Amino acid sequence: MGLVGTLQWFVFLAFMLVIFALCVWALVDCARRPAAAFVSAGKRTKNLWLTVTGIATVVSFLTLPPLSLSFFLGIVSAVAAIVYLVDVKPAVEPYSRRGGGGGPRGPSGGW
């Protein structure tokens, strides 16, 4: 493997490590949220999102060298994690704050 091949391998490794870290972040965040927050936000169930982010984490781990299962599967894992982090996480955050807030504006409705 020449210099270019070595550089490509390190770029690939860095890219797949970022995807793996993204998937782990999504899985841990999902696990920390209460199940009721998902229902309140209208974002399916916590178990569904735990399954999606869990599978994405396992698949992204399998795409790391030396296994390098498939680059395409790594991208699919990244998409699953990004959907959770960009769409679901912001929606469930207001319903999962400590202190028992009654919704996105707190127990009094914010008025």
Return the domain boundaries, the chain: 16-95
Q: Give me the pLDDT at residue 104, please.
A: 52
Mean pLDDT of 63-81: 89
Mean pLDDT of 86-90: 96
Using CA atoms, how far apart are residues 31 and 19, in angstroms rounded to an integer? 18
The model's pLDDT over 26-50, given as tens digits with 9 standing for 90+, comes to 999 999 999 999 999 999 999 999 9
The model's pLDDT over 3-24, given as tens digits with 9 standing for 90+, comes to 988 998 899 899 999 999 999 9
Tokens of 84: 């959770």
| Terminal Cα distance for the chain, rounded | 65
Q: Give me the pLDDT at residue 96, please.
A: 84
